[in-house]
Amino acid sequence: MTNHEAQESLASLAAKGFANGERYNAARPDYPVEALEYFVATFGLTQATHALDLGAGTGIFTRQLLPLVGRVTAVDPSASMRASLEASGAEVDVLEGSDVAIPLGDASVDVAFVAQAFHWFDAPRALDEIHRVLVPSGGLGLIWNERDESVEWVAELSRAMLWDVKQPYRVGTDFAEVVARGPFVNVERVKFRHSQTLSREGLYQRVMTTSYISALDGEPLDALMKNVAVVVEQLPEPIILPYITDVYSARAAVIST
């Protein structure tokens, strides 16, 4: 499979797997306050800042970012995700677009964020496109909540979910080198601990928001969820699902013309 074919396959999986914005918005966790504070300090976010949330989805990160800046433009290719964000009432501009087609002008935003989405991107093209819309030396922030598989039951859950077979990216992947190969400098990676409190039903819904699982139906879905239930039904409520939040910051390189 060529890189182009692989990217098309990922894009197709994302489109199928993220068609239920309402479920995603209800079941996915927010991001740790410490991560937001890191972005504020690193990028000097103020009420004068125009931020782009690229791959904004249902706006979980968008809504946390909004009080920290003066303006947020949220861009996402999924109609269901955008509809969920618009229904939240958050005062942001919500636009259709993608990692390689951002509907904004050159040098129009101060900082760009990508939450739980960069692994879906065509990284070289996306980094060039993000650089295009950033002001000189503008900021780029990437963030992921990743299940903490050092906890035994979480590792068992991941195996039941077939994460080791189907995962769109490997947990713990270091994207610093990927970012540094684009037109970005001063790449830094930090990590924070986070958690999500769920009922058993909430954990099932959280599992169902996983891209490749959301795209399943019929017998394959039933079989997978039966294996998930073996893990989940043993857990006392409330269930505390631990995460490691992986965070990156970088600055747009100033390119001489």
Q: What pLDDT sits at residue 2?
A: 39
Give CA–CA dist 120/13, Å, rounded: 9
Peptide bond before 103: cis, by omega within 30 degrees of 0? no
Give CA–CA dist 186/30, Å, rounded: 26
Q: What pLDDT sits at residue 255?
A: 85
Cα dihedral 142, 64, 17, 179, rounded to 10, equals -10
Element (H, E) at 108: none
Q: CB of 17 within 8 A of CB of 215?
A: yes
Global pTM reads 0.89
- 26, two tokens: 């209800």
Q: What pLDDT sits at residue 167?
A: 78
| Residue ranges of the chain with per-residue pLDDT less than 50 | 1-17
The backbone region for 173, taken as left when phi is positive above 0, alpha when psi lies in -120 to 50, beta otherwise, is beta
Q: What pLDDT sits at residue 7?
A: 41
Closest CA relative to residue 145, chosen from 256, 41, 27, 254: 27
Q: What pLDDT sits at residue 18?
A: 54
Domain-wise residue ranges, the chain: 3-147+169-195+244-252
Is residue 175 helix, strand or coil? coil
Q: What pLDDT sits at residue 172?
A: 78
The CATH number for 3-147+169-195+244-252, chosen from 1.10.260.40, 2.102.10.10, 3.40.50.150, 3.40.30.10, is: 3.40.50.150
Q: CB of 110 within 8 A of CB of 116?
A: no
Closest CA relative to residue 255, chosen from 136, 106, 125: 136
pLDDT digits 0-9 by tens, 26-82? 889 999 999 999 999 999 999 999 999 999 999 999 999 999 999 999 999 999 899
